[in-house]
Amino acid sequence: MVKSNALTLARRPRRNRRSAAIRHLTQETRVEIDDLIQPLFVREGRGAPEPVKSMPGVFRFSVSDLVRECRDIHNLGISAVAIFPCISPKFKDERGSYALSPDNLLFRALAAVKKEVPALLIIADVALDPYTSHGHDGLVDPQGDISNDETVNVLAKLAVLEAGAGADWVAPSDMMDGRVGAIRKALDRAGRIETGILAYSAKFASSYYAPFRDAVGSSKSAGTSALDKRTYQLNSANTREALLEARLDEEEGADVLMVKPAGPYLDVIHQLRSQTQLPIAAYQVSGEYAQIHAAAQKGWLELEGARDESLLAIRRAGADMILTYFAKDVAANLRKKN
């Protein structure tokens, strides 16, 4: 029966929201376990995992514990991890020499994980900031500037060594000009034609990286968590420049393009989606993760709701895959629901 005061409306969008079953059927965007990549930190030595104070629930693992963590992650259905080394200060110098050392912690970690969890896709970071005493992603010339071409030569060698150690994808995060092309050529020359390149194509000079720098120790190298990287990382105000960087990476042979950070740059993800046929990754960075946890600890946000909404927004913007420190928890929750 029609109520006497009912409006005459042909379209009532609320009909598609009136029950959980309808809302589920009409949902346009979902975050699935297959969309998630778990970033992980590895350190030297043994002993219990070390908590990262600014990132609740995140730890630095020994190599043996990293292997166990990767096995657990894979058993949850997550298909990829990104591994970042926390290098002891005694191995750091201005040239980042330890990056190419056969004893590099990262190489040992990659090899151990690939041996024990061979089906897990391993992504290795290609940058010098974990290894340099000054904390920059590249080599510093006598004038105090980052030497682009000299840095690229080192990064190409690092990428080949990472591939040899077990990395399925190498991920240049340095934002040097021409590094994707140089890495692709170096991999091909080394017979690593199957190794993919996940390019940090639009990596912005962001304030959201501070907890990550604490996790890997690069802020301690520089004496500050606010190290100025604006001569190579993108201006936060520039969208067209970000799209140009992504196009150049695609032309140079990148297999996947990444936007980092994710949440503050949803517009960049969305515009990039309309301009490329390549898969797009987005990195929900340490600061995004930490602020959700901090607000939840204050009682200002509900943790799971804010977490899940933030990831939905990244997928809705156009990202095919998300690097997020929430990956393991989200996967566990999705497994329970299914």
Q: Find the DSSP H helices in 203-302.
A: 210-216, 218-222, 240-252, 266-273, 286-297
Mean pLDDT, residues 83-107 taken together:
97
pLDDT > 70 fraction of the chain, expressed in percent and rounded: 97
Helix (H), strand (E) at residue 39: strand 36-43
CATH topology of domain 33-337: TIM Barrel (3.20.20)
pLDDT at 1: 61
Count how many residues are written for the chain: 338
**pLDDT score for 217:** 80
User: Using one digit for the tens of pLDDT, what is the confidence trace for 2-47?
Assistant: 667 899 999 999 999 999 999 999 999 999 999 999 999 999 999 9
115-129, 130-144, 215-229, 301-315: segment of lowest average pLDDT: 215-229
* Average pLDDT of span 81-109: 97
Q: Report the C-alpha dihedral over residues 244, 289, 124, 83, rounded to 10 degrees.
A: 180
> So which residues are the catalytic ones?
203, 260
- The amino acid sitting at 217 is G
Which residue, 88, 116, 120, 117, is CA-closest to 104?
88
Q: For residue 321, is pLDDT > 80?
A: yes
CA distance 202 to 257: 8
Q: How many CB atoms sit inside 10 A of residue 210's CB?
A: 19
Q: How confident is the model at residue 337 (pLDDT cuts 50, 70, 90)?
A: confident
Q: pLDDT tens for residues 235-269?
A: 999 999 999 999 999 999 999 999 999 999 999 99
Which uninterrupted H or E stretch holds 203? Answer: strand 196-203
Mean pLDDT, range 170-190, rounded to an integer:
98
CA atoms 152, 157, 158, 163: torsion sign: positive
Q: Where are the domains of the chain?
A: 33-337
**Bridge pairing between strands 169-172 and 121-126:** parallel
Contact of 211 with 287, CB cutoff 8 Å? yes
pTM: predicted TM-score of the whole model, two decimal places: 0.95
Q: What's the chain's average pLDDT?
A: 95
Residue 226, pLDDT score:
62
Q: What is the identity of the amino acid at 318?
A: G
Stretch 95-104: mean pLDDT? 98
Average pLDDT over residues 63-67: 98
- Quote the pLDDT of residue 2: 62
